[in-house]
Each structure stands twice: as structure tokens, then as C-alpha cells.
Amino acid sequence: MTDTSPEISETSSASTQTRQTRKTVLRVVLVIFFAGFTTFIAINRERITFEHLSGLGYLGVFLMAWIGSTTVLLPIPHLAFTFTMGSVPTLVPWLIGLCAGFGDSLGELWGYLAGYAVEDLVDRWKVYPKIEGWVRRHGMLTVFLMGSVPMPLFDMAGMAAGAAGMPVWKFYLATWSGKTFKAIVVAWAGRYSIAWIANLLGL
């Protein structure tokens, strides 16, 4: 005969309450951050241009990728910027890809945190359960593959990883690997494609 101890029940209840409190606090922090960050980017939008950031070289590549992956509401064409910077003769496409991958993967950590904080809300999105299923079954491989191809659903992969309890280091490693692979390919494509087009047009 089993007997459920009141102390165990109270401990479990306290643990659940603590977890809910942490999620509530994290939700508030995320809302404040994204509202503030989006407002800051909107106010300084004229400075976040190809012309301004291209003059910063590798730092500009990092900043454009970081801002682009962090900002959800405002479209920042950071992949197009990586492509264009690949054609700059003084820059190395390998290093461009590394800088872009680093910035892009850092920005995606906010999606991971959001998944942990709002796991009871994202289930309402029709496509989300399928992506979360992939993440739970294949973990880092799913995150890597979704990060290595241009697609608008990677934020959901980050949220699924956070909701599924994937260790943050595993999520970041898979994200960084996928994003860096994609950025290197795009940078080299920019180096050869733009030069090919210029030769074709006789420029």
C-alpha cells in the first residue's frame, strides 16, 4: 500500500510554483527586451544600412546578422548583406561566414528562451507541433539542418528546443554550425556570382 506524504506533495507544488514564477518573470523580461530593442532599431533604422555597415567590414557583417536574427517584427536582410559583402575583394568569404554565423546564432538564443517561457502558448500554432516533434526526435540534427538553409521557420525550431528542454549548449552549437555553414556558402556565392554578373555585363 502506497502512502503519498504531505511533505512530498507540498514540495512538488512548491517546485511547480517556482517554475511558473520563473517563466512569468522571463516572459516579462522578453517582452520588455523585444519592445525596447525593436523601438531602438526603428528609431535608428537609417543607420542600419548596407552603406553604413559595409564600411565596418567584418564587424558590420556580425552586427547585421545579429540584429537581423534578433529583430522579429522589422525585416533586416542580413543574408543579402552577407551575400553582397562576399564580393568585397579585401574581405575573405570564410571569415565573413564565421562573423555572420556568430551574430546570427547569438540572436537566435532569444528564440530558445522564448520557447522555454511560452511553451504553453506556441502549441497553438499549427506547424509548431510538427517542428517540435522533429526537435524531440532528432535534436541537434534538426536544429542544424533548419539553420543551414534559408527558411523563415527557424524561430520555431529555437522555441521548440527551449520548450523540449534541449541543453542550451547543444542548441547553440547546432545553431552556430548550421548558420555558419549557410553564411559561408552565401558569402562565396556572392564572391563568384557578382563577379560573374559583372563580367557578363562588361563592368
Mean pLDDT, rounded, for 124-151: 81
Residue 127 grid cell = 506547424
Instruction: Return the biggest CA–CA distance within the chain.
Output: 88
User: How far apart (Å, rounded) are the C-alpha atoms in residues 143 and 151?
Assistant: 12
Mean pLDDT, rounded, for 81-94: 91
- Which class for 50: exposed (0-12), middle (13-18), buried (19 or more C-beta within 10 A)? middle
- Residue 7 confidence (pLDDT) above 80: no
- 76 φψ region: left (φ > 0), alpha (ψ -120 to 50), beta (else): beta
Phi, psi angles (nearest 5°) of residue 95: -70, -35
User: How far apart (Å, rounded) are the C-alpha atoms in residues 92 and 82?
Assistant: 11
User: How far apart (Å, rounded) are the C-alpha atoms in residues 142 and 109?
Assistant: 16
Which residues lie closer than 8 Å to 42 by C-beta, 6 or more apart? 74
Which pLDDT belongs to residue 100? 95
Residue 131 in contact with residue 160, Cβ under 8 Å?
yes
Which has the higher per-residue pLDDT, 4 or 89? Answer: 89
Handedness of CA 152, 103, 111, 76 (dihedral sign): negative
What residue type is assigned to position 142 of the chain?
Answer: T
User: How far apart (Å, rounded) are the C-alpha atoms in residues 181 and 192?
Assistant: 17
User: How far apart (Å, rounded) are the C-alpha atoms in residues 90 and 183?
Assistant: 18
Which H helix or E strand runs over 191? helix 168-201
Query: Best-predicted range by mean pLDDT among 32-41, 91-100, 118-127?
Result: 91-100
Which pLDDT belongs to residue 203? 46
User: How far apart (Å, rounded) are the C-alpha atoms in residues 107 and 101?
Assistant: 10
Handedness of CA 14, 19, 24, 25 (dihedral sign): positive
- Residue 96 confidence (pLDDT) above 80: yes
